Structures are given as structure tokens and as C-alpha cells.
Amino acid sequence: EAGVAQSPRYKIIEKRQSVAFWCNPISGHATLYWYQQILGQGPKLLIQFQNNGVVDDSQLPKDRFSAERLKGVDSTLKIQPAKLEDSAVYLCASNPRGNTEAFFGQGTRLTVV
């Protein structure tokens, strides 16, 4: 079974530029998550989708971050404009249903300079 696919693996941008990350979850997984992991910290939930609807985006900085999951399959996360403090690993995860584990992609390491 293919895992959660993310791209790109690495991205370096200057502050105030924009960037987008892509995620393709495991086939059939209804729930998709985006997490931000700052160096030395645990992953922090940014947004949760159930199919193509948003379940929770309470921790998403909506003035600069946006995410969508068209057709309930793959998803993109965008940052515009980026700040230095956005430097982190952005993880995508998917989950087939409640009471099961979430499966994580390898992540995209973003460096804002």
C-alpha cells in the first residue's frame, strides 16, 4: 500500500514570498491533516479535513495560511506571505476512520530566509 506522498521535500524561500505544499493521502482515507513541526517541538495541528470539508482550522493562521482539499483527495497548503517564523517541517497525515492511527508523510522542510 502506498503511503502518504508529499512534495516538495525541501524548500527555501525569502520572507514575504509565497510557497505551496502538496499532499496525496493514502487511497480511501477520508480524513486529512496538515501539521507544522518547529525544530525541537511536537507537531502542531493546523487543519483537519473530512473528505473535502474543513473539520477544524482553529490553529491555522488564516491571514497568511490557506489550505484546500478539492474532490476530497489530495490537498495543498499555501503560505502567503511567508515569515521567518514559518520555518518548520510541514507534515501531512491521513486517517481512515476514528480509533485508528494517523499515517504521516515524510514532510516538507521549509526554510524562510
Partner 1 sequence: GDSVTQMEGPVTLSEEAFLTINCTYTATGYPSLFWYVQYPGEGLQLLLKATKADDKGSNKGFEATYRKETTSFHLEKGSVQVSDSAVYFCVIANTGNQFYFGTGTSLTVIP
Nearer Cβ to partner 1, position 25 or 43? 43
Nearest to 106 by CA among 2, 6, 1: 6
**Distance between CA atoms of 26 and 64, rounded to whole angstroms?**
27
Piece in contact with partner 1 (CB under 8 A), picked from 10-18, 67-75, 80-88, 103-111: 103-111
Nearer Cβ to partner 1, position 32 or 112? 32
Do 93 and 28 contact (CB within 8 A), yes or no?
Answer: no
Nearest to 60 by CA among 49, 72, 45, 75: 45
Smallest separation (angstroms) from partner 1 to the CB of 26: 13
Smallest separation (angstroms) from partner 1 to the CB of 87: 18
Does residue number 48 form part of the binding site for partner 1 (CB under 8 A)?
yes
